[in-house]
Amino acid sequence: MKKLPRTLPQTLDFLCRNGLEHHLGNLQRGLEKESLRVDADGKLAQTPHPYALGSALTHPSITTDYSEALLEFVTPVHTDVNALLDELFSIHHFTYQHLQQEKLWVNSMPCLVEGEDHIPIARYGASNIAQMKEAYRRGLRLRYGSLMQTIAGIHFNFSMPEAFWGEFLNTNDRAVIQQQKSVRYFALIRNFHRYSWLGCYLFGASPAVCRSFLRGREHMLDDFDPVSFYAPYATSLRLSGLGYHSGAQADIEIDYNSVEDFVASLRRAIQTPHAEYKKFGVKADGGYRQLNAALLQIENEFYSVIRPKRVTDSGESPCHALQQRGVQYVEVRSVDLNPFAPTGVEAECVRFLDMLLLYCLFSDSPAVHRDEWACAVENRQRVVMNGRRRGLKLCRHSAPPTRQPTLVEDANKLLHGMQPLAELLDQVAGQNDYRASLQAQLDKVKEPSLTPSAKILAQMSAQKLSFYEFAMGMAEQHEAMFKQTPLAAQTHDRMRAAARRSHQLQAQIEARDELSFDDFLADYFQRQRQV
């Protein structure tokens, strides 16, 4: 295996000298987009998952997350950005044909939620795997409350094409390729944690919330109007302590320095009992209140802005898959819904994520230690709450307090560092889209009013709209567009067939179950402990 480059300039030079730059034209991308179903008044839908959309358990593209009302749209993998977004558009389009008087909420933060008892947990049928998914969600409700689980976002799945790795590493040895892929993807993950604040600034789109979301909770937000709170310089309240936050999880130390250390630290959390969760009990009245009383019930409970991922086999845990077959792709989880986009995300954002993740993959990425980790978390929190404040300082663990950089300084340094990437990506594709996306981000750094968070507050102020009125107005615009535009017959037929197949597959899974749920669950966790 050749000596591999360590810095971004060295890597780009290596790719071009060895004729490998064409792989940048085949980046593997997928999107998972969450949206709440709401009724005509904007209240959280209390209706079951629409049957016409298929089985939430088995449909490949339309499922649910925590709540029966929280839809999740999943695209297949695409190598073309426009095809990826067209696929997401088609899923929305088909869905809107079956929502009747309901619509999709366009913001990451929910609004008219009447309380914990009015947030229905997702249902998946009678099979053991369905019962496990529902018991897991009951555990989430006990541990964190249901309201937090109604927050929606965009998950961006990313990987290099498989053919790239053998050529880049100059080997056909599958074991070496698997091991080195994991090393490189964990390097990407470490760097992403270092720089995730930048995406929060550029694409954060949740600077305000409805008062109903914070009913009975302490907070430090300002009054925007009688029914809305906001933070004047916030970018993403979704990623603040008001959004996905857990005191228990704050004490979990996950090691991102290797796949082995990551799996070991995550498994410790799954096997470590938590005193408060033990008080809830695991079973009551013959049913499961949670899967177990550990710090984490399963791996997916751990909240993180990015995850290493591997497609799992039936009944296999994510940790087992990672340990046995290595990292396959990464999942970025820090992107807010863009309320101005009908599908919640635009091509400019996808292309920026391409560049940011390639920058993280191809740049040097030393091991992360406690002080630097704390600094990365602090930077993200500073930016989500005060990212548009002029002169905002960032934390740099290796610099004295008097030498801490400003957001503008570090953002410009990072973005200008991506310029060669943008040029090479455009050269490979024969276009100018990446340079245009990069310039748009530089403009946002220079002028914070161009960020989505600022645009939301500006529109609310100019039109004297509450957060609810702003969000409902955008939701109604998108609803009208999807419902008034005919869906292509071929797309409709394809998606109807997928829905039918998903119901058939759910029935087959239920018919195959032989174990009781108690035995199924005991067997599942026993297999996880054996590896």
Q: What is the 3-state secondary structure (H, E, C) of 397-422?
A: CCCCHHHCCEHHHHHHHHHHHCHHHH
Q: pLDDT at position 115, please?
A: 78
112 vs 240: CA distance, rounded Å: 20
Of 464, 234, 218, 460, residue with least CA distance to 336: 234
457 vs 464: CA distance, rounded Å: 10
> Which DSSP helix (H) or strand (E) runs through 137?
helix 128-144
204 vs 127: CA distance, rounded Å: 39
Residue 157 near residue 185, CB atoms below 8 Å: no
254 vs 322: CA distance, rounded Å: 15
pLDDT digits (tens, 9 = 90+) for 263-300: 999 999 998 999 999 999 999 888 999 999 999 999 99
- Residue 330, beta-bridge partner list: 158, 308
Q: pLDDT at position 248, please?
A: 64
Per-residue pLDDT of the chain (531 residues; tens, 9 = 90+): 557 788 999 999 999 999 999 999 999 999 999 999 999 999 999 999 999 999 999 999 999 999 999 999 999 999 999 999 999 999 999 999 999 899 999 999 998 777 788 899 999 999 999 999 999 999 999 999 998 899 999 999 999 999 999 999 999 999 999 999 999 999 999 999 999 999 999 999 999 999 988 887 888 999 999 999 999 999 999 999 887 666 667 678 889 999 999 999 999 999 899 999 999 999 988 899 999 999 999 999 998 999 999 998 877 888 889 999 999 999 999 999 999 999 999 999 999 999 999 999 999 999 988 889 999 999 999 999 999 999 999 998 776 776 889 999 999 999 999 999 999 999 999 999 999 999 999 999 999 999 999 999 999 999 999 999 999 999 999 999 999 999 999 999 999 999 999 999 999 999 999 999 999 999 888 877 765
Tokens of 251: 């004490």
Of 262, 265, 253, 215, residue with least CA distance to 114: 215
Q: CA distances (Å), 336 to each of 144, 259, 339, in order?
A: 20, 28, 9
Please give the single-letter amino acid code of residue 182.
S
Of 160, 69, 75, 52, residue with least CA distance to 118: 69
CA 313 to chain centre: 22
The count of other CB atoms within 10 Å of the CB of residue 465 is 18
In Å, the largest CA–CA distance within the chain is 67
pLDDT digits (tens, 9 = 90+) for 455-514: 999 999 999 999 999 999 999 999 999 999 999 999 999 999 999 999 999 999 999 999
Of 235, 250, 278, residue with least CA distance to 387: 235
Q: pLDDT at position 245, please?
A: 61
Q: pLDDT at position 314, please?
A: 77
Q: What is the DSSP string of 429-485?
A: HTSSHHHHHHHHHHHHHH-GGGSHHHHHHHHHHHTT--HHHHHHHHHHHHHHHHHHS
Measured at the CA of 333, the angle between CA 255 and CA 524, to 5 degrees, comes to 65
Q: pLDDT at position 2, please?
A: 59
Of 265, 261, 241, residue with least CA distance to 253: 265
Residue 19 near residue 84, CB atoms below 8 Å: no
Of 514, 523, 509, 528, residue with least CA distance to 130: 509
The count of other CB atoms within 10 Å of the CB of residue 201 is 25
Three-class secondary structure of residue 254 per DSSP: coil
What residue segments make up the domains of the chain, in order of their start?
8-530
75 vs 314: CA distance, rounded Å: 20
Please give the single-letter amino acid code of residue 523.
D
Q: pLDDT at position 71, please?
A: 98
Q: pLDDT at position 100, please?
A: 86
φ, ψ (nearest 5 deg) of residue 245: -150, 140
199 vs 411: CA distance, rounded Å: 10
Q: pLDDT at position 460, please?
A: 98
288 vs 290: CA distance, rounded Å: 5
Of 116, 128, 69, residue with least CA distance to 291: 128
214 vs 446: CA distance, rounded Å: 33
112 vs 69: CA distance, rounded Å: 13
Of 208, 240, 207, residue with least CA distance to 227: 208
Three-class secondary structure of residue 33 per DSSP: strand
Tokens of 411: 């953002």
142 vs 138: CA distance, rounded Å: 6
Residue partners of 58: CB distance under 8 A and separation at least 6: 502, 503, 505, 506, 509
Please give the single-letter amino acid code of residue 65.
D
Residue partners of 512: CB distance under 8 A and separation at least 6: none
391 vs 405: CA distance, rounded Å: 9
φ, ψ (nearest 5 deg) of residue 362: -95, -5
End-to-end CA distance of the chain: 30
Q: Model's pTM, two decimal places?
A: 0.96
Tokens of 354: 């391409």
Q: Which fold has domain 8-530?
A: Creatine Kinase; Chain A, domain 2 (3.30.590)
> Which DSSP helix (H) or strand (E) runs through 162?
helix 162-169
C-alpha torsion 424→379→200→227, nearest 10: -170
φ, ψ (nearest 5 deg) of residue 188: -55, -45
